Structure 1
């Protein structure tokens, strides 16, 4: 392989990054729902509220802090940052590969035919 077109590498890496971002958001949503159904947030929230409460206040409310919309918003922001970085790094990798392939001739592939 003597050259990788950076434009096509950018398009493919962007599409793969979008798919990975969607999978991440769906996986976090499913995991949050399972943990909420098991009562994890209420149990840990009660412990945190009890540990942080003072005589005049009720303590930190972990359940409202880790609500589904807030968690999905944070996950979406991380997924968008990941999409931008993965696309940029893949495109930069294509440019670097093209520069190094110009010096050494690229990667040689040997294909064999099954009989």
Structure 2
């Protein structure tokens, strides 16, 4: 009588044949590249907004803004106040504007990359990619 473990041990000692396939990437679909670059840009935008909020909160809680504000008022005069410029609304508004612009730029770069790759394939022949079934 053989157990299930012995049967599995016999199967695992067999060598499996690996099949390798070499393919050429000769075309990138334009709309797929645009959609993927847009999703990556949205992820980067969320990371930018969250990181800006966290960094602002840490700097505000540690009192760095107060010390920078006192240095600024001693140089620029008593009528100047840096805390009005560096409020949470202004900082987060700037972060949102940067995130939107970053989304547009990254999406456009993804589209340009797909177009340039598709044009360069005619000259270079494509990118050789190897696959295996491990």
Query: Fold-level match, TM-score > 0.5?
Result: yes
Matched, 1:18 2:42: yes
In structure 2, how many angstroms separate the alpha carbons of the residues matched to 1:35 and 1:25? 15
| 2-structure distance, mates of 1:44, 1:103 | 56
1:6 aligns to what? 30
Match of 1:62 in 2: 82
Shift of 1:112: 3.1
Establish whether residue 82 from structure 1 lines up as the match of residue 102 from structure 2. Answer: yes
- Higher strand proportion (structure 1 or 2): 2
Deviation at 1:60, TM superposition (A): 1.5
Question: Of residues 5, 13, 30 in structure 1, which corresponds to 2:54?
Answer: 30
1:52 matched residue in structure 2: 76
RMSD: 1.0
Distance in 1 (alpha carbons) for counterparts of 2:79 and 2:68? 13
Unaligned runs of 5+ in 2: 1-24
The 4+ residue runs of structure 1 with deviation greater than 3 A are none
Extract unaligned runs of 5+ from structure 1.
none
Q: Is the 8 A contact 1:14 1:86 kept in 2?
A: yes
Residues 48 and 59, structure 1, Cα contact 8 Å, conserved in 2: no
Rg (Cα) greater in structure:
2
Map Cα deviations across residues 10-54 of structure 1 (whole Å, 9 max, x no partner): 00100110110111100010100010000011111011112111x
For 2:64 and 2:94, locate their aligned partners in 1 and report how far apart those are by CA, in whole Å. 20
Q: Distance in 2 between matches of 1:107 and 1:97?
A: 10
